C-alpha cells in the first residue's frame, strides 16, 4: 500500500474528470478519510463501515486508480449447491439432443426413474449448456387463441383423416384418427382408401373401442363425412349421406366445422404433428400394411397409457379418465387382443442401449453390474409405476444389454 499522501494524490488525479454522481460520492469519502487522517470519522459521516472504506481503497490501488473499479458488483454466488451437474446433467442434455423433448417432458421421464428434478431445473441445465430453443416469430396470430376443453369424456370427439407421409407397398395409406376433447383419449385405424365405406367402418370400430359413451363427433366437410358441398345446379337437395345416418342410428350427434377453419379441430390436428414427430419417422419405408397396422395399434396404446401430455399437466389420457371415474383396461375389444410393447418406448430403449455401448461414461442406472451373468440387475430406487422401458435397462449381461419382452399392463 502506498503512503497516505501518495494515495491522496493518485486518487485525486484519477478522478479529475469523473462525472458519475455515485462514483463521485465514493471518491469524496476516500479523499476525506485520507486527508483528515481519521477514517472512522469519515465513514460515520458517509454512513458506511470501515471495511467498506478499505475495500474501495484496495480496488482503486489494484486497478491503477481507475474510478470505474468502484462500481457496484453483483452479489450473486458463483456456484449454487443445488445446481444440477454431473451424470444427471448429461442425461438431460442427452434427452434433449436425442428426442428433442421439452423441459416438462424430460423432467417427467426423470421423475419416473425416481429422480427429483423439476422442469425449471431442466430448463436451467439446457440454458447453461447453450442449447437453442426454437421459437417461431413468423407465424401470424390466430383468432382462435382461446383454449377450450369439455368437462366430461364423450361430450365431443374430433375426427379427421391423416395421410401416411410415405407410401406403403407402393400405395397410399390413410389413418382415421378420433380424439376425445376432455381426456385426449384417441383411437386410430389405417385404411387403403378414404371413402364413405371406410368412415362408417371406423365409426363402428370406434364405438366398440371407447370406454365411455359418445355423445357427439365433430368432423370437417370431407366427402367421406358429408355431401353438403356437393350440390349441383340441377339438384335441389343432395342425397342422404350414409355417415350422418350411421351416427344417428348410434345416437351420436354429428357436428360440422365451418369450411377452412381447421383450428376448431385443433386437438386432432395437433395429434397429427405428434404422430409425425414420434411415430412415422421411426418406421422403415419398406414396412408392409399389416405390420403398419400393428405398429399403429401399439403406438395408439402407448399414446393412451404411457405418453404424458402437457395439456393434461403431464398426465396420460388413461389417468384423466380414471379421475373421471372411468376405468380403461389394456384388452379393450376392437383394438388389442393382448398388451403390446409400445413402439416409441422400444425406440428409447434401443437408443439407451447404443449409448451404453458407445459411451464410456456411466450414466444414471448404468453404474452397477451383476456379479453373476445369469442374475438380473435390480435397482432399489424404482418407484411404483416405473415404465417398463426403464426397468428393461436392468437386464444387463456383462457388457451388452439384452431386452426381454415385458408386458405393458
In order along its 409 residues, the chain shows pLDDT tens digits of 567 888 888 888 888 888 888 888 998 898 888 888 888 998 998 889 999 999 988 988 888 888 888 888 888 888 788 888 888 888 899 888 888 888 888 998 888 878 888 999 999 999 888 887 766 666 666 666 666 778 899 999 999 999 999 999 999 999 999 999 999 999 999 999 999 999 999 999 999 999 999 999 999 999 999 988 776 655 566 678 899 999 999 999 999 999 888 888 889 999 999 998 888 888 888 899 999 999 999 999 999 998 888 888 889 999 999 998 888 765 543 344 444 444 555 666 666 666 656 654 444 443 344 455 444 444 444 555 555 555 555 443 333 333 333 333 3
Q: Residue 306 in contact with residue 345, Cβ under 8 Å?
A: yes
**CATH homologous superfamily, domain 157-323:** Ribonuclease H-like superfamily/Ribonuclease H (3.30.420.10)
Please report how many Cα atoms fall inside a 13 Å half-sphere around the Cα of residue 192, on the Cβ side. 6
Kindly list the distances between the CA atom of residue 20 and the CA atoms of 28, 45, 145, 343, 389, in Å, as whole numbers in the listed order: 12, 20, 49, 65, 62
Strand ranges in 3-155 using DSSP code E only, listed in sequence order: none
Please report how many Cα atoms fall inside a 13 Å half-sphere around the Cα of residue 58, on the Cβ side. 6
CA separation for the pair 296, 288 (Å, rounded): 12
Q: What is the pTM of this model?
A: 0.64
Nearest to 257 by CA among 225, 295, 214: 225
Beta bridge pairs of residue 10: none
Beta bridge pairs of residue 396: 401
The sign of the dihedral angle between the CA atoms of 314, 317, 321, 322 is negative
CA separation for the pair 91, 361 (Å, rounded): 11
Beta bridge pairs of residue 176: 161, 189
The sign of the dihedral angle between the CA atoms of 211, 216, 219, 225 is positive
Nine-digit cell at 292?
A: 403398419
> Cell 403431464 maps to which residue?
314
Q: Residue 308 in contact with residue 274, Cβ under 8 Å?
A: no
Amino acid at each position: 500500500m502506498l503512503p497516505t499522501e501518495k494515495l491522496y494524490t493518485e486518487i485525486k488525479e484519477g478522478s479529475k474528470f469523473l462525472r458519475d454522481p455515485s462514483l463521485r460520492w465514493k471518491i469524496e469519502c476516500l479523499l476525506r478519510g485520507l486527508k483528515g487522517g481519521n477514517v472512522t470519522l469519515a465513514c460515520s459521516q458517509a454512513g458506511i463501515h470501515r471495511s467498506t472504506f478499505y475495500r474501495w481503497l484496495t480496488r482503486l490501488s489494484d486497478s491503477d486508480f481507475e474510478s470505474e473499479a468502484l462500481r457496484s458488483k453483483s452479489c450473486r454466488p458463483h456456484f449454487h449447491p443445488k445446481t444440477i451437474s454431473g451424470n444427471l446433467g448429461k442425461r438431460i442434455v442427452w434427452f434433449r439432443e436425442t428426442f428433442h423433448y421439452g423441459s416438462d417432458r424430460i423432467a417427467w421421464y426423470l421423475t419416473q426413474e425416481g429422480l427429483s428434478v423439476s422442469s425449471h431445473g431442466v430448463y436451467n441445465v439446457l440454458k447453461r449448456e447453450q442449447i437453442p430453443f426454437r421459437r417461431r416469430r413468423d407465424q401470424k396470430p390466430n383468432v382462435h387463441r382461446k383454449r377450450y376443453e369439455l368437462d366430461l369424456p364423450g361430450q365431443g370427439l374430433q375426427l379427421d383423416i391423416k395421410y401416411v407421409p410415405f407410401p406403403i407397398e407402393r400405395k397410399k395409406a390413410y389413418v382415421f384418427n378420433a380424439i376425445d376433447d376432455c381426456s385426449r383419449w384417441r383411437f386410430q385405424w389405417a385404411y387403403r382408401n378414404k371413402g364413405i365405406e371406410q368412415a362408417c367402418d371406423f365409426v363402428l370400430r370406434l364405438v366398440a373401442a371407447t370406454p365411455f359413451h359418445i355423445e357427439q363427433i365433430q368432423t370437417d366437410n370431407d366427402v367421406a363425412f358429408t355431401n353438403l358441398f356437393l350440390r349441383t345446379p340441377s339438384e335441389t337437395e343432395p342425397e342422404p349421406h350414409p355417415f350422418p345416418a350411421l351416427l344417428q342410428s348410434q345416437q351420436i350427434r354429428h357436428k360440422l366445422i365451418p369450411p377452412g377453419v381447421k383450428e376448431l379441430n385443433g386437438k386432432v390436428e395437433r395429434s397429427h404433428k405428434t404422430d409425425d414427430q414420434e411415430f412415422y419417422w421411426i418406421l422403415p419405408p419398406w414396412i408392409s400394411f399389416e405390420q403398419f397396422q400393428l405398429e399403429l395399434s401399439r403406438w395408439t396404446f402407448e399414446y393412451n397409457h404411457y405418453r404424458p401430455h402437457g395439456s393434461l399437466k403431464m398426465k396420460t389420457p388413461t389417468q384423466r379418465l380414471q379421475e373421471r371415474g372411468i376405468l380403461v383396461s389394456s384388452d379393450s375389444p376392437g383394438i388389442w387382443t393382448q398388451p403390446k410393447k409400445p413402439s416409441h418406448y422400444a425406440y428409447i430403449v434401443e437408443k439407451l442401449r447404443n449409448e451404453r455401448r458407445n459411451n464410456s461414461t456411466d450414466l444414471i442406472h448404468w453404474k452397477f453390474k451383476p456379479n453373476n451373468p445369469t442374475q438380473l440387475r435390480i435397482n432399489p430406487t424404482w418407484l411404483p409405476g416405473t415404465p417398463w422401458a426403464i426397468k428393461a435397462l436392468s437386464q444387463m449381461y456383462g457388457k451388452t444389454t439384452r431386452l426381454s419382452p415385458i408386458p405393458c399392463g
